[in-house]
Amino acid sequence: MRCFAQRGYYIVLSTLLADFRIIFERDPAARNWLEVLFLYPGLQALLLHRFAHKLYRLNIPFVPRLISYIARFVTGIEIHPGAAIGRGFFIDHGIGVVIGETAIIGEDVLIYQGVTLGGTGKESGKRHPTVGNNVVVGAGAKVLGNIEIGNNVRIGAGSVVLRNVPANCTVVGVPGRVIYRSGARVDPLEHGSLPDSEAEVIRALVDRIESLEQQVQTLQQSQPSLVSVLVASGALEHASDVPVQVASSCQLKDKTIQQFLDGAGI
């Protein structure tokens, strides 16, 4: 029995140390342990949550929610005591972060201010996201519903994710769309250097318009001689009766545009 108690204390201590060390690894503004311990609301909210979560698992009423409420009042971060959070979890800045009751978060996860790991309705049971290991969630992102976010996923700032995301992907946009970035390791702090899927689609549409304009111009230049022959022979009464036909086929990123319009990037 004593061995189990010692093992439990060791697990708790190692988890708290991992939560503390990850801040120095991922935040260049962290200068000393005293500053991190007393002036980092993300760490304070996490420490209070871990205590509240233990009480919640013991089915103790009221007290876990009271601790969660106090943590929200002090730090501006709301974590339901039922949420399961792994080692090395770091909330940078933290204001406005909301984590729901049935959320499950893996190890070495980094989230920024304004992030919501929430539900999509009043359904019972598992209704909040499951987040894998080494995930980065950018500022203001919303991950909603009983969905799974794979390991090593990066979610861009302001994105709204409503579907499962495979491992090793980057998600951007509203609704969130997956963009694969294989073969390139990206610094987790640079969550702002993400591809812009909306800009790519707009660029593709502009390219299509330019292509159609060139086709119309080519047809207009080639028609006068043909029209004059038809009018002279009596086949046409007026030159304006000739319709302008534009080729319907196009080679410019049809798949990208279709995914954007259907919201089927994931």
- Greatest extent of the chain over all pairs of C-alpha atoms, in Å: 108
Secondary structure of 79-123 as H, E, C letters: ECCCCEECCCCEECCCCCCEECCCCEECCCCEECCCCEEECCCCC
Average pLDDT over residues 49-59: 94
pLDDT at site 62:
95
Residue 35 has pLDDT above 60, yes or no: yes
Cis preceding-peptide flag for 175 (omega within 30 of 0):
yes
Rounded distance between C-alpha atoms, residue 110 and residue 100, angstroms: 16
Domain 2-180 of CATH type 3.50.50.60? no
Domain ranges of the chain: 2-180, 197-262
Rounded distance between C-alpha atoms, residue 75 and residue 69, angstroms: 10
Q: Which of 67, 62, 88, 63 is nearest to 77 (CA)?
A: 67
At 96, is the pLDDT very low, low, confident or very high (cuts 50, 70, 90)? Answer: very high
pLDDT tens digit string along 68-87? Answer: 999 999 999 999 999 999 99
pLDDT at site 26:
85
When comparing pLDDT for 180 and 123, which is higher? 123
Averaged pLDDT score across all residues of the chain:
80
pLDDT tens digit string along 151-183? Answer: 999 999 999 999 999 898 888 888 888 776 554
